[in-house]
């Protein structure tokens, strides 16, 4: 009896496994880009020299390290919204000056009011569904008389959002605009506790239940110690927690268009660094939204006054930005809305 019972269990177990691998296979095969030539056309508008211009501006000492609520950070937020105005990328109707004020009563005590900066391109077929590209705009400010330029953290992410927005805008001008709306979200107060993104998800400008996914970028311009011999990598964190499909879409985007090594080391739920909890995507995940965090890992200039624009690897920043754009393209244009199941 015992042996029979165990055998039956084994059978049930292996059937379940088979069904799972079959589902994974079907899901992977269902991910197909429709007009690859279009994706490539707009991918090619993402350029290392433009990324460099953006990073050099954002990390410039004139912004005094972009401390939340301080004058230097306010000026960089103004620079960000001017970028969108100049590119004809509009503000949300409810926030026509691109700013969502984050009041000081939700920030650590000593800080002034600050702001998230929000721009978006309206979808042509499903305008009520939203794909977010996010990056924090603040940094450490001035400590002991030293300006913390934060070129990688997070000039690199901010520059990537700019280039992705420009690529979608060019597509739209050609009549190839995204079917879903794409939101470009520059959150404040990340460095002091993810407050800007928390405030946004508590006071969303677009209905939170219509959020397809949030692709968060925080530090993608450098190479960490583990990859000095093979720098064509990016850490991909958290994509499979709420949507197995998102995890595979990133893989498809990468193999079709970019060819980076996707490193899942920090996606391990037991990883002691706990990066999944440490940048702005996490506040979207708390609301049940499929998220992913793109990250280069820590390096010797992380949160130091030496995180300067001349140390960014701009060719690599371009490749990583292309991965994020091609992922966003799929999410914004796929016939079916991203599924939220986890296999
Ligand atoms: Zn950061």
Tell me, in angstroms, the distance from the centre of ligand 1 to residue 152's CA: 8
Tell me, in angstroms, the distance from the centre of ligand 1 to residue 142's CA: 16
List beta partners, residue 180.
126
| Cα 182 from Cα 185, distance rounded (Å) | 10
Summary mean pLDDT of the chain:
95
Tell me, in angstroms, the distance from the centre of ligand 1 to residue 218's CA: 5
Q: What is the pLDDT of residues 61-76, one digit of tens each?
A: 999 999 999 999 999 9
Pairing assessment for the beta strands 142-143 and 211-217 based on DSSP bridges: unpaired
Q: What is the pLDDT of residue 109?
A: 87
**Percentage of the chain surpassing pLDDT 70?**
95
Top-confidence residue, 297 or 16: 297
321: left (phi over 0), alpha (psi -120 to 50) or beta: alpha
Tell me, in angstroms, the distance from the centre of ligand 1 to residue 136's CA: 7
Q: What is the pLDDT of residues 101-145, one digit of tens each?
A: 999 999 998 999 999 999 999 999 999 999 999 999 999 999 999
Residue 283: both structure tokens together: 């506040």
Q: What is the pLDDT of residues 73-91, one digit of tens each?
A: 999 999 999 999 999 999 9
Burial class for 339, CB neighbours closer than 10 Å (0-12, 13-18, 19+): middle
Q: What is the pLDDT of residue 25?
A: 93
- Work out the average pLDDT over 172-192: 97
Task: List the shell of residues around ion ligand 1, using CB closer than 5 Å.
Answer: 153-154, 218
pLDDT of 14 > 80? The answer is no
Q: What's the pLDDT band for 10 if we cut at 50, 70, 90? A: low
Q: What is the pLDDT of residues 213-234, one digit of tens each?
A: 999 999 999 999 999 999 999 9
pLDDT of 1 > 50? The answer is no
Q: What is the pLDDT of residue 316?
A: 98
pLDDT of 16 > 80? The answer is no
pLDDT of 192 > 50? The answer is yes
Q: What is the pLDDT of residues 17-59, one digit of tens each?
A: 678 999 999 999 999 999 899 999 999 999 999 999 999 999 9
pLDDT of 181 > 70? The answer is yes
| Cα 321 from Cα 308, distance rounded (Å) | 19
Tell me, in angstroms, the distance from the centre of ligand 1 to residue 180's CA: 27
> Domains in the chain, ordered, with CATH?
34-333 (3.40.630.10)
| Cα 2 from Cα 261, distance rounded (Å) | 47
Tell me, in angstroms, the distance from the centre of ligand 1 to residue 191's CA: 7
What per-residue string of b and e applies to 15-43 under the rule 16 or more CB within 10 Å gives b?
eeeeeeeeeeeebeeebebeeeeebeebb
């Amino acid at each position: 009896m015992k042996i029979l019972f165990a055998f039956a269990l084994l059978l049930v177990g292996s059937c379940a496994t088979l069904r799972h691998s079959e589902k994974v296979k079907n899901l992977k095969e269902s991910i197909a880009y429709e007009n690859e030539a279009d994706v490539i056309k707009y991918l090619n508008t993402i350029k290392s020299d433009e990324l460099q211009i953006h990073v050099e501006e954002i990390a410039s000492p004139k912004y005094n390290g972009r401390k939340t609520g301080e004058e230097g950070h306010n000026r960089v937020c103004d620079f960000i919204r001017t970028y969108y105005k100049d590119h004809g990328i509009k503000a949300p109707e409810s926030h026509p000056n691109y700013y969502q004020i984050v009041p000081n009563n939700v920030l650590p005590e000593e800080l002034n009011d600050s702001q998230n900066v929000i721009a978006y391109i309206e979808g042509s077929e499903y305008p009520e569904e939203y794909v977010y590209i996010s990056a924090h705009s603040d940094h450490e400010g001035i400590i002991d008389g030293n300006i913390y330029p934060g070129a990688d953290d997070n000039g690199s992410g901010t520059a990537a959002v700019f280039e992705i927005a420009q690529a979608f805008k060019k597509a739209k001008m050609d009549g190839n605009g995204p079917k879903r709306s794409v939101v470009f979200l520059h959150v404040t107060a990340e460095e002091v506790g993810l407050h800007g993104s928390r405030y946004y998800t508590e006071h969303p400008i677009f209905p939170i239940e219509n959020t397809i996914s949030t692709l968060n970028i925080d530090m993608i311009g450098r190479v960490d110690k583990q990859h000095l011999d093979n720098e064509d990598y990016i850490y991909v964190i958290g994509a499979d927690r709420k949507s197995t499909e998102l995890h595979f879409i990133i893989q498809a985007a990468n193999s079709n268009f970019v060819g980076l090594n996707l490193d899942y080391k920090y996606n391990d739920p037991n990883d002691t660094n706990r990066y999944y909890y440490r940048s702005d995507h996490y506040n979207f995940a708390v609301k049940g939204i499929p998220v992913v965090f793109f990250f280069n890992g820590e390096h010797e200039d992380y949160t130091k006054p030496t995180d300067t624009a001349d140390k960014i690897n701009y060719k690599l920043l371009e490749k990583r930005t292309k991965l994020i754009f091609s992922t966003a393209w799929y999410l914004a244009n796929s016939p079916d809305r991203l599924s939220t199941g986890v296999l």
